């Protein structure tokens, strides 16, 4: 997923950042100082997450007939959902009022 080595003994999780409106709308409404503070909060969280963070991810934008609501994603790894939830404590997305949806990535049969 990125340059960080993945540990095959860990479970992989896709994290979706859910919010009203699109990430683009939120960014457009923010002052430069607020964007700087938000970026710092996300970078601080990434440092805290350490090796659990497999792919920092990016903001997303709905296209076509897709309704906005998924503002971005990350991929993380942890031994359990409980351990993952520890990494997500004080996450900047939830601090901004957003919701985090968690999906475990499972191997596809025969792959």
Instruction: Give all domains of the chain, ordered by start, each with its CATH number.
Output: 11-105 (3.30.70.1060)
Structure tokens that stand for 103 in this block: 């999906």
Mean pLDDT of 75-91: 96
DSSP string of the chain, one letter each residue: --SSPP-TTSEEEEEEEE-SS-HHHHHHHS-HHHHHHHHHHHHHHHHHHGGGEEE---B----TTPPS-EEEEEEEEESSHHHHHHHTTT-HHHHTT-EEEEEEE-PPTT-
What global pTM score does this model have?
Answer: 0.84
User: Using one digit for the tens of pLDDT, what is the confidence trace for 21-53?
Assistant: 777 777 888 899 988 999 999 999 999 999 999
């Amino acid at each position: 997923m990125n340059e960080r080595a993945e540990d095959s003994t860990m479970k992989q999780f896709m994290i979706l950042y859910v919010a009203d409106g699109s990430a683009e709308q939120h960014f457009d409404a923010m002052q430069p100082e607020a964007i700087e503070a938000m970026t710092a909060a996300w970078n601080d969280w990434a440092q805290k997450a350490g090796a659990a963070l497999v792919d920092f991810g990016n903001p997303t934008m709905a296209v076509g007939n897709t309704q906005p609501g998924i503002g971005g994603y990350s991929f993380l790894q942890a031994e359990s959902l409980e351990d993952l939830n520890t990494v997500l404590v004080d996450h900047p997305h939830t601090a901004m009022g957003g919701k985090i949806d968690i999906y475990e990535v499972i191997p596809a049969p025969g792959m």
